[in-house]
Every structure is written in C-alpha cells, then in structure tokens.
Structure 1
C-alpha cells in the first residue's frame, strides 16, 4: 500500500490571512471615512499656489550673523540629542537589570510596565509635560528625549540580557563572585557591542526628534524654524531647514559607520 504523502503546509497561515484581510479592511475604511479631496491636489490652482509657496524659500538667507545663529542652534540640537541619549543609556542599563528577571518576577513585571509607559508616550508629549516643570529651553527637550529613550533602550537592553547565555556569569558566581561583579565581568562584555548599536540607532532618531521638539519651545533648530515660519520669513526658514538636513545626514552617516564597526566583529 502506498502511504499518503502529508499535505503541504499552507503558504499563508489562516491567522496571517485574517490579519492581512483585517488590515486591508481598515485601510479601505480609512480612505472612505476621511473626506480627502484628491482631485484638488492636482488642479492648476493647487500647482500654481505650491510653486509660489516654494519660491518664497529661495534664496536661503546667507548673512553671516544669521549663519552664526543657525550654527548655535545646530550645536544646541546636537547637544540635546547626545546628552539625552547618554542619560538614557545609563538609565536603560540600570532598569534593564531588574527588567530581565534578575530580581524576581514581580520586579520584572513592574519595571517592564514602567518602561512601556515611558516609551509609549512620544517625545513631543513629554516635552509639553516637562516644559511646565523645567520651563522653555533645551533643558526640557533634553529631559523629554532622555525619558522616552530610557523606555526604549531599557526594553531592548532587558531583552538582550534575557537572551544572553548564562554559563559565563554562573561560573563566576559559583567561584564566589558577587552578582554585580559577575555581571560586569561576564555578561556586560558579551552584549556591550549590541547595546552600543541600539544606542547609536536611537541617537539617529533623537537627532530628528530634537529638531522637532523646538517647535513647542524646547530649543534648538526647531525653535528657530517655528519663529521664522510664524513671521513668514521663508528665506531664513529655508536656511534652518538646510541645517537640519545636513545635521541629520551627518549623524546618520557617522552612526551607521560606528554600528557597522561594532557589529562586524
């Protein structure tokens, strides 16, 4: 007797198919529910008004005194992102230890809940909250970046620690090493390149966020952009936008090269 060959597994699982159908339904419902007049985007008047609006940005303002202000705003934005990411790196490691089941299941659940709350609130909302306590300026923006990024990095660091092989750390503990000493000598060196890669990637995101946080008064290039746009000074705004693009491109390139070096070993 010939044995029946087992039926090949489905290309798409039923649960995946149901999710895709639900997602497609949501997209179609969104197009239907939103009163978007697509035809008006391609009319002659729309094209003409768009061209006139873009002409207002040319040529960018290149006066020396204004370029100095833009350079100061650029350094302020860079400092906000770097300091906020650095604070989040330290706090993320500190919170990742209890969030990775090293101090019991109850502590893990509580810390992970706190990390989820921190990262679920966007940087812009944190900035609006912290502006009340810290006032206008880059200090509130830095704190907003640090708080949100702590939630993101803390969760990533905790997952990395939980997936780490426990044999090297357990060996040191058996030979009399204290828990923190075993962590710093056995666990941390194994995952440090991965942690740094996560941190550099978040730095890229924080550069973009820092440039936007200034719109609510948190300093940097975003605050300059809001000021000049509110006064319809389009040429000055164009210079600020160009500075934003150059800064983001520079940081993205630097971070990408550093992450490649860290992950190539």
Structure 2
C-alpha cells in the first residue's frame, strides 16, 4: 500500500511551484525586449556615454568638493544609523511582547509601515518639511532603518535562550534586572552585527538620496550629470566606490572581531 508523502514535503513542492509560476508570469507580463540591448544604436550610444567617464577630473578644487561631499554622505549614514539603532531598540521591547499583546501589535504595525516606505520616499517627504540638505536625508535614513532595526532587534530578543532570565527571576531579580543582565547581553552581539550591516547599506542609500536633493555625493552626481560634465561625474562615482569599499572593509573587520 503506497505511503502518502509527508505534509511538509507537499507544502514545499507547492511553494516552489508557485514561485516558478510567478517568475514565469513576470517574464511574460513585462514583455522585455532583450534584443534592443544589442542593437548597433544601443551599443554605440552606451559606448559614447561611458567614454565620457574615462578621464575623471582630479583637479584640487574638485577633489576638495568631493571630499566634503563624501564626509557629508558618511555623516548622514552614520548619524541616521545611530538614531535608528537607539529607536529600534526602544521599539523592539514592546514589539517583542514584553508589554502586552495590544502594544506588540501596535508597535509591529508601526515598524512595518516605517520599513515598507523606501528611503527615497521618506527623503521626498522630509525635503518638503525640512528643505534641501543632509538633514532631510539623515531623518529619511533613520525613519526607514528604525523599522528594520525594530523588527530585527525584536527577533533577536525573542530568539535568545530564556533560561538565564528565568533563573534570575526565580532568584529574586526584577524583570528589568533580569532583562539587562541576561536577555540583552545575549542578543547584543547579533544586534551590533545587524547595525554594522545596515550601516553599509545606508552608505549606499545616502549616496542615492542626494539625487533628490538630500546633499552629499548623490547631489553632486546629479548636478554634474544634468550638465553632462562626465569627467566631474566620474570623480564623484569613484569617490562613492571608495567610500563604500572603505566602510565595507571596516564593518567586515568589526564583525570578525566580534565573533572571536
């Protein structure tokens, strides 16, 4: 008599089939014209456009401007990430269910809304409220990243082993003391790793936010590209690449140091 396959196997097969159908439907509905990428005109236009980046402007005045913009981008990402880490930790406490189910649902809904709105949309709203400049970009990064951190930090707290906290409570420690001396120290390394990783992402996001007027390297790149000053734009792009590479290397080294 044949044995029915396990339920979990059938579920995985159904999910995989649904994903494959979704991918196939996506290709069919978008009507992508791949041959248009390889036409003579497309290749010629792309080559002409890229040739303008072959000789970046390395003059002293340009390097000073790019350096200032790079520091502005770095400051936006660092401050936005720091603000989000503090707010995310504060919101992770009710989101992890430590203050009741109703507050958990409300906080979870707020975090979902905060992280579902992209940084560019946050920046557009902040530009209306605060005007052009890095302040709007910093708040936009903080708003989106707070939603991300709140969710990740809450899951870190939920996944921490509860035995140590329960042992402290049994031995007379208060709920706050047990949390500070058991649950939080256990989850802190993972929270710090999340924070460093999101800082890497926010460096890239801060560079893009400048395109809508939030300052930094992105604003410089938009300005020079709009004037077709390709050599100056190439210098800005090189600065972006160097800044991202430096932050990636620093973050990687810090994460390696944490897991030792």
CA drift of 1:43 comes to: 1.9
Partner Cα separation in structure 2 for residue 215 and residue 261 of structure 1? 35
Contact 1:194 1:262 in 2 (8 A): no
Does 1:43 find its partner at 2:39?
yes
Task: Pick closer, same or farther for the CA change 1:28–1:166 going to 2, 3 Å.
Answer: closer
Corresponding pairs, count: 260
The answer for unaligned runs of 5 or more in structure 2 is: none
Aligned twin of 2:109? 113
Partner Cα separation in structure 2 for residue 39 and residue 47 of structure 1? 11
User: What is the root-mean-square deviation of aligned Cα atoms in Å?
Assistant: 2.0
CA drift of 1:170 comes to: 3.1
Partner Cα separation in structure 1 for residue 38 and residue 180 of structure 2? 61
Give the one of 43, 48, 51 matched to 1:55.
51
SS at match of 1:36: coil
TM-score normalized by structure 2? Answer: 0.93
Structure 1 range deviating more: 180-189 or 90-99: 180-189
Aligned twin of 1:135? 131
TM-score normalized by structure 1? Answer: 0.91
The answer for unaligned runs of 5 or more in structure 1 is: none
Does 1:228 find its partner at 2:235?
no
Partner Cα separation in structure 1 for residue 194 and residue 109 of structure 2? 20
CA drift of 1:8 comes to: 9.1
Aligned twin of 1:212? 208
Partner Cα separation in structure 2 for residue 20 and residue 169 of structure 1? 40
Offset from partner CA, 1:62-111 (integer Å, 9 cap, x none): 11001000000101111111001101111111111111111111111111
Does 1:83 find its partner at 2:79?
yes
Aligned twin of 1:168? 164
